[in-house]
Amino acid sequence: MAIDYSESVLAKPVRKKRRNRVRSKRTRSIHRMKLDLDAIARTEVFERDGNKCIHCPNSDRSIQWAHVLSRRHLCLRWEADNAMTLCAGCHLFWHHEPAMAVDWFIKNFGERWERIRRIHLVNPKISVRELWLERCARSSSDL
């Protein structure tokens, strides 16, 4: 039986149409810079970890770029100590069992954890543009 909302006190909610969000050129360029920085950091971490999962050293599975503390913290997003290489299964474990995962990380990578924690506590302001100029200039000079 369908509910008749026509004479009811409980009016049917009206949905607003979503407008396409127009981003400014500056916002689009910062977004592109973040993607470039992500690619550079991902490559560095994969090379450091030997292109295999650091949790279950299985090189047969596809690997993913994972973070100890969330990527939303720009002061840590491109910090190599905060990133690691995990297979899909271990990455799921990381997100579904965060307490156990962080305990594992602290036990195996204590010094890295201390560096991450100190940076996170200070929470320095990051200029995406300046970092992009520094890292992209460095990566293009390596070629």
Is 80 exceeded by the pLDDT of residue 33? yes
* Per-chain mean pLDDT for the chain: 84
- Domain range list for the chain: 51-136
Which tops the pLDDT comparison, 24 or 35?
Answer: 35
Continuous H helices in 9-127? 25-48, 74-77, 88-96, 98-108, 110-122
CA–CA dist 93, 7 (Å, integer): 51
pTM, full prediction: 0.74
Which pLDDT does position 58 carry in this prediction? 72
Predicted confidence (pLDDT) per residue in 57-109, tens digit: 776 788 999 999 998 988 999 999 999 999 999 999 999 999 999 999 999 99
Which pLDDT does position 143 carry in this prediction? 47
